[in-house]
Structure 1
Amino acid sequence: MEREESPVLVEMQIPTQQEPIRLGVKAGRSIFILGRNGTGKSALVNNLAAQWTGKCVYMPGSRPSYFDHESLSMTPATRRDFVTNISYYDSPDSRWKSLAGTTRNEKAIHDLQAAETQYKLDAANQIKAEGSGSSAIARLQSDGSPLDIVNSVLSQANLSVQLEIAGGELRASQAGSLYSYARMSDGERSALIFSAEVVAAPSGTVFLIDEPELHLHPSIVIALIKALILTRPDCGFVVCTHELELPIAIQGGEIVLVRGSVWQGGNISSWDVDVIHDPEQIPEWLWVDVIGARRKILFIEGNDRTSLDQPLYSLLFPAVSVRPLESCKDVIRAVEGLRAVEGIHRTRAFGLIDHDGMSAEQMRKFEDGGIYPLPIFSVESLIYSSEAQSAVSLLQAETLGVTPQQLLDDANRGAIDSLKSAGKKEHLASRLAERHMRDRMLSMIPTRQQLIDYDADSIDVTFISPYPMELEHLTALIETKNLEAIVSRYPVRESGVLNGIAKGLRFNSRDDYERAVLRRIHTDSNLRNALKMKLSNLAAQLE
């Protein structure tokens, strides 16, 4: 028997540059609005609040978590006035400042106390009419009153504080002490306000919540929102959040993934969004990459925080999300994982891995799957390329009162001289030869079938060492002072070459030079284009 479809409580309409996207908010189902900072998520939530005036309970991200008084000051009359004026309080400005002050918090407490009082009065009237056999007696003993439910939700959210009515007022209780709810911790007050709003609302309410994680620890907010959604299967929830584990913890929901927005006349006029109807198909280990990314993701090797890879590729491809991973295998796994579920998202995944002496056929196979072997040795081959050196030499020359060519000649001389000291060129040649030998040996390992078919007890693998030829090649490059070819082909990070370049260009250190190059890449489109040309086919895919 198929489960009955939940009723649509309101329709979400999201303006885009094409047709508006429409999505029904259903009872018992949650919709999560996710995206990076600056994409326009809170503005979208505010837009929805304006669409649903009078049909939803809006909890803006700008809300304060405190109270102005230790006791409830809101009356039924001031509550009615607040609800009448709520469309003003939820104007576009409310996404960055609170216009309602603490009145919204007071309303939550007022409604909880009113719901608790009404629950008890209804039971008392039923007992009065039906006598000692009334079912209301069992209802009162079942811990099912609004306040009981709030206390249960707080417990599920790992909070030890409880609430009770004492002396006609709502009070907090913990470790045998009673005190004003206004004196609860910042996180406890936030959790209370959320719980009170949700529990006391009438059936069919839609809750529009912007950044519930404000003032709340992740271990609390996930459990709290999950408990509230489970508590009110008769209501709908739209939650805008940076807490990416929320959609994982609360199954059966949908995701509105905000990629960006278009501003017009001081306000956002449209959004670029994806709707993911079945987020459970996305592998959990790739979750952050899909949700937090732009349309295109570039996975790169190297998770070292000091690495130049991420800042460099982010500058070269500003419309692409760059994600560093630990190893080549991790990059391949991530790209293959995302491309396997492309039907449920519109993200395009690409990978950049080390060349490692691959053959043209191997490179072609990788590129067919969206993984591009780096056609140069490392990121330093870009940062210290002749194009990068020339770009920064212009500014240095102007500052120092010398010619750019003089600086470039000094850089070339210092780098080449560093390779003439004992053992330097041998080290670089052997490192590259070692990489080639490793890859060659791996390619010569027999397959399982070859092992079965082969009768001998030992397997011999023989090939010519690439070291002598590599050393001869490097020696020739040094003699002809071909610094560009050396930087492009060899692991110059392990030599004095990079220090020689930085010193020749009159920088105090390699760090100063590298920062100058990154700044220049940011401002110089010609340099950006020149470096992208060195990435060959990958650059064409990421444009």
Structure 2
Amino acid sequence: MSFIYNLPDEQLNPKQCETDSNALVIIGANGAGKSKLGAWIEQQDLENIHRIGAQRNLNFNENITLKSYSQAEDIVFWGTAEENQKNGKGYRWEWGKSYTTKLMNDFEDVLAALIALKNNENDNFVNQCKKAEETNNEKPHTPVTSIDKLSYIWNDVFPQRDLLIEDSKFYAFLQKNGKEMRYSANQMSDGERSVLYLASQVLCVPKNKILIIDEPEIHLHRSIMNRLWKALEKHRQDCLFIYITHDTQFAAMHGNADKIWIQDYDGEHWKFKKIEDNDLPEELLLDILGNRNNVLFVEGEKNSFDVQLYGALYPSYHIIPCGSCSQVIERTKVFNNNPSLHNCKVYGIIDRDYRSDYEIEKYKENNIFTLNVAEVENLFITEELIRLMAEHMGKEANTTFEEIKKYVIHTRFSHQIESQICQSVVAQIKYKLSCVDISKQNSEKAKASLETAFKSINYEQVSSNETEKFQKILSEQNYADVIKVFNEKGIAKSIGQYFNIDNSSYCTTVISLLNGSKHNDIVAALLPYFPTEIPR
């Protein structure tokens, strides 16, 4: 089954689009005109499109005022049951004054419509049974009513509790500690009432409609959000669901849905693009499309010290932790090779590690830059930061720095220099091998390319060069040069003693001050160790 919907062209004329999926996700940053686009789509076919606005009043009376289905349906769909006020859904959207901002206050009408629909279904069943009796034919099977479907959906979303409908009243029902408990639907949590409202809306809408849902994630926890919409899509396969959202996880979880990214909106015209299949991680791609800031890929995990440091140094960037340096390199390259997918600048920052100057310069060609320390943890032990922290804690800055310098160079670096040289040699050779162009044409060419690569790598020369470099740095005892090549993550967690605090407290203290009274001072102390090529 395919569905037809309209999107505006450059002159705001409707352009027909077709999809084989019954879900379409329109995603964009805040202020990108998403809700206005949803309103525009609705206005192209008012009789066949039902839009659920983002502003929803989830309060209603315990006793539902019953109505006929046609009356309740008109109130839900058109905003009124009065024929002379239906034109253009003007009553529903206050005659164009609040297409995207009106607070929807139709919860009770939606429940009344669902009850009326169930009553119609039951009446129809009874009439069919009577007719079968009169003609001595087999009676029809008991129908699955709209209320039955609502209960199925509810159980999909909230498997630990049931939904009861008694005498036009809705209840949540559960067993706790061996006791049965029930509470009225108007006393439910925001999430429960939101599920009840949205599910009832979708189920009471007539067949073969387009449903536009603005901000489907409101009031819904991530653990239930996707379960709800998947269940509703399953029960209403006759309808096309158009979701308008900035929630990238919601969009990514709709793997089979078509996705439209709103790139820009000037107040009247939209610029948008359909997201086609690509080799980018979908959730990551959508995360970038959903923001308007430039992007900075970094190593580390969410909420780690290094990510917090990057966030402080680059406050106007969308910081995305990638875990490993290889992921930073790969993602930065891929996004910069697909500029048509985004409107932002994309950079990557990686640790210096054991990289050669040549390797570092090559990465710059792809907007990938390195720190001026071996690894991000070494930012905590830079001379400028040590002096700043010493002064803050009432210590003598020169003395404290000299003590830490001696500890880092003589106690740690000098005793690990052989292993540091070995790891640097291995890193240099690995990089040289990674640059080899191994042909995929056939095995003979691949073998020849690899043999040529092996011959071009002089292990003894690499080892000699790295040994000379490390020994020179050790003999000169230039502290900045030492932390530029010394890869040892544990050092930053071993110098708290020099400030008369626990070793484990030093980094957290720096982060606390960075987020507080010493923010500007710490940023100034660390800035010389960050790449100048990335504008702040």
Residues 416-495 of structure 1 correspond to what in structure 2 (within 5 A)?
416-419=405-408, 423-427=411-415, 429-442=417-430, 449=447, 461-463=459-461, 464-465=463-464, 469-470=468-469, 472-478=471-477, 482-491=478-487, 494-495=490-491
Kindly indicate whether residue 331 of structure 2 is the aligned counterpart of residue 326 of structure 1: no
Give the Cα separation in 1 of the matches to 2:270 and 2:497. Answer: 46
Partner of 2:301 in structure 1? 303
Query: Which SS does the other structure have where 1:535 is aligned?
Result: coil
Residues 133-532 of structure 1 correspond to what in structure 2 (within 5 A)?
138=140, 141=141, 143=143, 145-154=145-154, 157=157, 159=159, 182=185, 186=189, 189-203=193-207, 204=209, 206-212=211-217, 214-216=219-221, 218=223, 220-230=224-234, 231-240=236-245, 242=247, 244-249=249-254, 251-256=256-261, 275-278=272-275, 280-281=277-278, 282-284=280-282, 286-287=284-285, 289-290=287-288, 294-303=292-301, 305=303, 307-339=304-336, 342-346=339-343, 348-386=345-383, 388=385, 396=391, 407-419=396-408, 423-427=411-415, 429-442=417-430, 449=447, 461-463=459-461, 464-465=463-464, 469-470=468-469, 472-478=471-477, 482-491=478-487, 494-495=490-491, 499=495, 503=499, 509-517=506-514, 519=516, 522-523=519-520, 527=524, 531=527
The alpha-carbon deviation at position 49 of structure 1 amounts to: 5.9
Query: Which SS does the other structure have where 2:321 is aligned?
Result: strand
Can you list the C-alpha shifts for 1:225-277, whole angstroms capped at 9, x where unaligned?
12323415345433436371454335232244689x9xxxxxxx969997452
Query: Which SS does the other structure have where 1:372 is aligned?
Result: strand
Query: Which SS does the other structure have where 2:349 is aligned?
Result: strand
Partner of 1:264 in structure 2? none
Contact 1:297 1:320 in 2 (8 A): yes
User: Which residue of the other structure, out of 109, 113, 116, is the alignment partner of 1:111?
Assistant: 113
The alpha-carbon deviation at position 535 of structure 1 amounts to: 0.8
Contact 2:226 2:253 in 1 (8 A): no
Query: Which SS does the other structure have where 1:355 is aligned?
Result: coil
Give the Cα separation in 2 of the matches to 1:273 and 1:314. Answer: 31
Q: 1:532 to 1:88 in 2, by over 3 A?
A: farther
Partner of 2:441 in structure 1? none
Partner of 1:265 in structure 2? none
- CA RMSD between the two structures: 5.4
Query: Which SS does the other structure have where 1:462 is aligned?
Result: helix
Query: Which SS does the other structure have where 1:233 is aligned?
Result: coil
What's the TM-score once normalised by structure 1's chain length? 0.68
Task: Give identity over the alignment, percent.
Answer: 15
Amino acid paired to 1:484: A
Query: Which SS does the other structure have where 2:332 is aligned?
Result: helix
User: Which residue of the other structure, out of 60, 64, 68, is the alignment partner of 1:72?
Assistant: 64
Contact 2:64 2:168 in 1 (8 A): no
Moved more, 482-491 or 180-189: 180-189
Can you list the C-alpha shifts for 1:430-474, whole angstroms capped at 9, x where unaligned?
3542332222443677986359869xxxx9953445676356434
Give the Cα separation in 2 of the matches to 1:361 and 1:420. Answer: 26
Can you list the C-alpha shifts for 1:1-23, whole angstroms capped at 9, x where unaligned?
xx866143xx689xxxx999999
Amino acid paired to 1:253: D
Query: Which SS does the other structure have where 1:32 is aligned?
Result: strand
In the alignment, structure 2 segments of 5+ residues that lack a partner are 81-90, 439-445
The alpha-carbon deviation at position 109 of structure 1 amounts to: 0.7
Amino acid paired to 1:477: E
Query: Which SS does the other structure have where 2:4 is aligned?
Result: coil
Give the Cα separation in 1 of the matches to 2:480 and 2:168. Answer: 82
The alpha-carbon deviation at position 72 of structure 1 amounts to: 1.4
Give the Cα separation in 2 of the matches to 1:461 and 1:431. Answer: 16
Can you list the C-alpha shifts for 1:341-395, whole angstroms capped at 9, x where unaligned?
55444455433223344334433433333433434322245454455567778xx
Give the Cα separation in 2 of the matches to 1:497 and 1:121. Answer: 74
Give the Cα separation in 1 of the matches to 2:516 and 2:109. Answer: 51
Partner of 2:88 in structure 1? none
The alpha-carbon deviation at position 198 of structure 1 amounts to: 0.9
Contact 1:299 1:352 in 2 (8 A): yes
The alpha-carbon deviation at position 33 of structure 1 amounts to: 4.8
Q: 1:158 to 1:299 in 2, by over 3 A?
A: same
The alpha-carbon deviation at position 148 of structure 1 amounts to: 4.0
The alpha-carbon deviation at position 110 of structure 1 amounts to: 0.5
The alpha-carbon deviation at position 35 of structure 1 amounts to: 6.2
Kindly indicate whether residue 58 of structure 2 is the aligned counterpart of residue 60 of structure 1: no
Query: Which SS does the other structure have where 2:319 is aligned?
Result: strand
In the alignment, structure 1 segments of 5+ residues that lack a partner are 262-268, 401-405
